[in-house]
Amino acid sequence: MRLTIVAATGGIGRHLLRQAIEAGHDVTAVARSPQKIADPVRTAYADLAAPDVDELAAAVKDSDAILSGLGARTNAEAGVAWRGTEALAEAARAAGVRRLIVVSAAPIGTVPSPANPHPPRHDPGDGFVMRHLGAPFARRMFRTHYDDLARMEDVVRASDRDWTISRPPKLTDGPLTGRYRTALDRNVRGGFSISRADVAHHMLACVTMPETIGHTVGVAQ
């Protein structure tokens, strides 16, 4: 398949890129610093903090799917996820690319956003510990980052693309195992962490899983 990997030098993006290449896909890697990409793939420059839709449309043209690992690394970068994804969705529409898969975070279903100002208090997949300790703590610690991701999810849902939102919990730098659990439209019960490599593995799997279109997917070990 012909895939476009966005934020290809980021924590999850690097794994998406490498795994897509190893699986034999035809890959275009989009990044703010494409010169850092040593893999033998097409590369395209894009600054998702100040995105150019025409630039992005040219990068994603003829793709079967777009996979985005975009997310703010610091509070100072907050806003890059929703602004960059908004431009990416517009570019996908302009280029006629239907499939869009993005990564978010497990607590986002309970984070208010402009399109969802009164979300449920708890995610239906969370157990007692996560509901009363883990999720509230994470929302306090990463409030700015989560506000950005919640607004990004608004953008994705409002698009007319065939979207899937991946919602992992705490990310680690552990190895690719291919052993993880998933849950549709809810978090994974008792799922506290997952490696970035395994998140990338599942996002790539979603490309050929039409049952995930129009859904969030909890993924955890």
Candidate from 102-106, 143-147, 170-174 with smallest mean pLDDT: 143-147
DSSP category for residue 206: H
Note whether 101 and 66 are within 8 A (CB).
yes
- What is the pairing mode between strands 42-45 and 162-167? unpaired
DSSP category for residue 108: G
Q: Would you state the structure tokens that stand for residue 29, as one six-digit string?
A: 């890697």
Find how far residue 107's CA is from the centre of its chain.
Answer: 14
Distance, CA of 1 to CA of 19 (rounded, Å): 13
Give the predicted TM-score (pTM) of the model: 0.94
Nearest to 202 by CA among 156, 171, 157, 160: 171
pLDDT for 141 equals 66
1-58 confidence digits (pLDDT tens):
999 999 999 999 999 999 999 999 999 999 999 999 998 899 999 999 999 999 999 9
Is 76's pLDDT higher than 90? no
Beta bridge mates, 6: 30, 68
Distance, CA of 167 to CA of 179 (rounded, Å): 16
As a CATH number, domain 2-220 is 3.40.50.720
197-219 confidence digits (pLDDT tens):
999 999 999 999 999 999 999 99
pLDDT for 5 equals 98
Q: How confident is the model at residue 75 (pLDDT cuts 50, 70, 90)?
A: confident
**How far is CA 151 from each of CA 9, 29, 104, 157, rounded to the nearest angstrom?**
23, 24, 10, 10
Candidate from 67-81, 101-115, 167-181 with smallest mean pLDDT: 67-81
- Mean pLDDT of all residues in the chain? 94
Comparison of pLDDT for 82 and 129, the residue scoring more: 82
**How far is CA 5 from each of CA 10, 101, 172, 186, rounded to the nearest angstrom?**
10, 10, 20, 25
Note whether 170 and 100 are within 8 A (CB).
no
Note whether 138 and 107 are within 8 A (CB).
yes
Distance, CA of 136 to CA of 106 (rounded, Å): 12
